[in-house]
Structure 1
């Protein structure tokens, strides 16, 4: 027996659960002004709360969107955007109960994948999520950092007004498209709280757009943070990159050239960039672009293992049979043959055995099967199969999400 119930929230419970999440994440309750702006991005749909009587003590929230998978296809995905338990009710099974209900809902609605950004990495593995894509933080010294002369950067860059930024960037993001594994769509409800409030006149982030031969093809959202003080009145500002997307290398390089040309800046800081973004190699002196850290970014959970494996493509190598276990969604348990022609369930003996969270790590192509086996995450039944799995699952471009949610 538990002393709480888990159920879908009602329309009348939207604000109380929003406040619960904010308090669980150590933010203050929403003011009326914030709720007026954020409320439409917090609908009741796809939210499950834990309730003690009529009071919410926990919340899990997600929205439906799409994700790019290796090979270029996009799949429906649940983006888990908010998970929290009231501080006086943690470690009593509330989170486990809510996550089980949420995953059962994803499976019942036919969603093959779920993704999230983990506030605490130790939490989500037991629910089947694995760290599938990483992001790096770049710190670029100014004014020393300059692109070398062979970097192609045609076209023009222009600054938008706040009104233009709210109006134009959603369509430009759609036109750029989900061109890397791990990138997700941004539905209409994402933009008001995650974009508009930053670029509007109250917050003051700046937005620059690149235009190439075929029109607008890239944008960057950034802020400037002063470093000047009484003791260092001439210290340049930090230019903090919040969001940067481009349709190709030339547009991306042109946006970086623009950022590195802004006056009175001592450093450009960009977090959660693709781990293979070659900015350092684009500079005349690569030491002026330092990778300050590499962190887990997107966590992925196969909800329907058969559908997820069948949807992506694989490189040319001999097939491998995976034995998958899933404690939360046992229907996923079984053997799957993966090869260049696709994936299917099989009764054949397993070459490699792994839990569903490790399959989530393997799925987008960042982690090699050999690495995961050396880390104790894959049980190797046939050592020869590791090299085949490495080749099958690898991707040319590193997976990357590029969207905070």
Structure 2
């Protein structure tokens, strides 16, 4: 470890960093994909671990903004986390994470996030799973049975090249209604959501975009999907994203997807766990949740700033004893006093009402995990009865946090 140094990777070192990442993830992308990765990294924070002059570790962070209850925060989002196989278990990853936390703190970003390639790794660095996703499958060989009447406003297909302007306006208008959603620029729409060929399955069609709403008025919802034929089964509709203003608008979009000719299965990955489809679908044998997974992992780099930057649903006045092995300033007893009017959080000598690890506080931060669930799992200790119930009420959000943007 004494020979390893951590420093920024210059633009001229991006290709070298990508080669390390491809080695670590056993990938050999074609030139077009390499160029795409190179272009993405131009706007990222890039931290390298060097053993003398040899690059042995690499982590990048997108300078994203993420919605939190009541607003949004700058949030570096980690990606391309790689360590050379010759330097595993030598503190390389720990050193890079520490460097990134220091940079984020200096830049005023109170939280960071990632999608975990291996769940077991990132909890020890204080990341907690703050959003979850469902995989949903619909048997569309017969009409989709619904308990509500779908919106009868017109549906229309939109050229994907025109979609970023149309969908971006809608997405920006609705994004802050649900925590965990990442702000998308035009390039992110075009290069991540609407790219011609899907990198995971080249048999899928190009993206299709359908919107609902009067052509002269605002968009009331949209779906992005791809299709493919299959020799041994009915054709597939892979739904990438569906957003709608109302349950009726969502029902109209789902009915459309289930009515596409020559298909018999809809597979939707990354749906919110409180998707109203689960309730307005008339036949749950036809609409099935086939999996649930942790999605966005959040790290509270500056607990005080993070807590004071979100909104609170009801009054709470508790002393939290937080453990944080990586950011000592977060550790210890702090009094949280919050209400719909605002929040303060500061050190105190008063006895703790609740003890928990920073990773578990992060999991609860967006409102997706309950403090009470931590108690029942043995991951938090309640010293003053009723603390968990009061804190859960204050952390409550109308919609469960949700993230579908992978990075």
Give the alignment's TM-score, normalised by structure 1. 0.90
How is 1:370-389 mapped onto 2 (pairs within 5 angstroms)?
370-389=372-391
Q: Deviations over 1:227-266 (max 9, x none)?
A: 314xxxxx31121112333344343332212111111212
Could you say which residue in structure 2 is the equivalent of 1:177? 175
Matched, 1:54 2:57: no
Q: Distance in 1 between matches of 2:123 and 2:82?
A: 16
Q: Distance in 2 between matches of 1:336 and 1:190?
A: 40
CA displacement at 1:140 relative to structure 2: 0.7
SS of 2:62's partner is: strand
Q: Which runs of 5+ in 1 are unaligned?
A: 230-234
Of 337, 356, 359, the match for 1:357: 359
Q: Which runs of 5+ in 2 are unaligned?
A: none
Contact 2:125–2:326, Cα closer than 8 Å, also in 1: yes
Q: Deviations over 1:151-207 (max 9, x none)?
A: 332322222334334665444433443320111112455345422434699874322
Could you say which residue in structure 1 is the equivalent of 2:158? 160
Q: Distance in 2 between matches of 1:339 and 1:44?
A: 36
CA displacement at 1:52 relative to structure 2: 2.6
Could you say which residue in structure 1 is the equivalent of 2:82? 84
Please, which moves more after superposition, 146-155 or 75-84? Answer: 146-155
Could you say which residue in structure 1 is the equivalent of 2:272? 274
How is 1:139-288 mapped onto 2 (pairs within 5 angstroms)?
139-148=137-146, 150-165=148-163, 168-188=166-186, 190-198=188-196, 204-213=205-214, 214-229=217-232, 235-288=233-286
Please, which moves more after superposition, 332-341 or 61-70? Answer: 332-341
Contact 1:166–1:195, Cα closer than 8 Å, also in 2: no
Matched, 1:23 2:26: no
Q: Distance in 1 between matches of 2:168 and 2:79?
A: 19
Count of aligned residue pairs for this structure pair: 398
Pair 1:149–1:136, CA change in 2 (3 A) = closer
CA displacement at 1:403 relative to structure 2: 1.4
CA displacement at 1:346 relative to structure 2: 4.1
Please, which moves more after superposition, 240-249 or 138-147? Answer: 240-249
Please, which moves more after superposition, 297-306 or 341-350? Answer: 341-350
Could you say which residue in structure 1 is the equivalent of 2:292? 294
Matched, 1:100 2:98: yes
Q: Deviations over 1:286-314 (max 9, x none)?
A: 32111101111111111111111111222
Contact 1:37–1:192, Cα closer than 8 Å, also in 2: no
Could you say which residue in structure 1 is the equivalent of 2:38? 39
Pair 1:394–1:323, CA change in 2 (3 A) = same
Of 330, 333, 336, the match for 1:332: 330
Could you say which residue in structure 2 is the equivalent of 1:232? none
SS of 1:360's partner is: helix
Q: Deviations over 1:17-67 (max 9, x none)?
A: 123223322221x43322334432111641101123333221111112222
Please, which moves more after superposition, 263-272 or 220-229? Answer: 220-229
Contact 2:150–2:250, Cα closer than 8 Å, also in 1: no
Give the alignment's TM-score, normalised by structure 2. 0.90
Could you say which residue in structure 2 is the equivalent of 1:12? 12
Please, which moves more after superposition, 117-126 or 16-25? Answer: 16-25
Please, which moves more after superposition, 278-287 or 135-144? Answer: 278-287
Pair 1:211–1:223, CA change in 2 (3 A) = closer
CA displacement at 1:349 relative to structure 2: 2.2
